[in-house]
Amino acid sequence: LQLGIMASGNGSNFEAVAQAIKDGQLNAQIQVLIYNNPDAYAAVRASNWNIPAVLLNHRDYSSRQEFDRQIVQTLRQYNVDWVIMAGWMRLVTEVLIDAFTNKIINIHPSLLPSFKGSRAVEQALASGVKIAGCTVHLVSLEMDSGPILMQAAVPVLQGDTPETLHARIQVQEHRILPQAIALAAKQAL
Ligand code: GRF
């Protein structure tokens, strides 16, 4: 599998995939990291792993489609066949979806279909659910939807803040994202 990873921030999921590959748990290569935020720590991680990192700043493009065309071109340039959105905080358009049909994977910090969007952990906490978790799914046009590949649950504990709950969820994200990538590839055969 030739992976292209898209990240906007910290990049701990990028790191988890790189580590799973190194440990022989996932038979893949990361061809490129695409990041959209100049300050994304994911770019530092990519450099530490000697993985090419390409900054595509959405502010430099006049529409989401134009931005996605540049993303597709970059993914093609690096011979990517599977696209992994690991903390990619931008809505994507049909330009990207149609270029990599059923080959785009997203990780989201809730048990979908509950709590879509960028405030999922805060919303789970505010709603009073006692079980939270994360979902890895194939990406369709609608935000945080598409066929579910894997999920993992964690308890919500008394005294949790969004930060403590998110940290507990991320342990599971780092475990299931590499597994779900392998599963998706196997199902696509
Ligand atoms: C993760 O919680 C992921 O589910 C969400 O954004 C966060 C990214 O974390 N989509 P990181 O940048 O991989 O550390």
Return the HEC string of the chain: CEEEEEECCCCHHHHHHHHHHHCCCCCCEEEEEEECCCCCHHHHHHHHCCCCEEECCHHHCCCHHHHHHHHHHHHHHCCCCEEEECCCCCCCCHHHHHHCCCCEEEEECCCCCCCCCCCHHHHHHHHCCCEEEEEEEECCCCCCCCCEEEEEEEECCCCCCHHHHHHHHHHHHHHHHHHHHHHHHHHCC
The mean of the pLDDT values for the chain is 97
Q: How far is CA 144 from CA 25, 57, 61, in A?
A: 26, 22, 23
Asked if 108 is an active-site residue, the reply is yes
Cβ-Cβ contacts under 8 Å for 154 (sequence gap 6 or more): 131, 132, 133, 165, 168, 169, 171, 172
| Ligand 1 atom closest to the CA of 89, numbered from 1 | 10
Pocket lining: 176 vs ligand 1, CB cutoff 6 Å:
no
Give me the pLDDT at residue 65, please. 97
Pocket lining: 109 vs ligand 1, CB cutoff 6 Å:
yes
Q: Which domains does the chain have, with CATH numbers?
A: 2-187 (3.40.50.170)
Give me the pLDDT at residue 62, please. 96
The percentage of the chain sitting over the pLDDT mark of 70, rounded to a whole number, equals 100
Residue-wise pLDDT tens digits, 127-173:
999 999 999 999 999 888 899 999 999 999 999 999 999 999 999 99
Residue-wise pLDDT tens digits, 55-101:
999 999 999 999 999 999 999 999 999 999 999 999 999 999 999 99
Give me the pLDDT at residue 188, please. 86
Pocket lining: 84 vs ligand 1, CB cutoff 6 Å:
no
| Ligand 1 atom closest to the CA of 108, numbered from 1 | 4
Sheet with 2-7, edge to edge strand ranges: 53-55, 29-35, 2-7, 82-85, 104-108, 131-138, 148-155
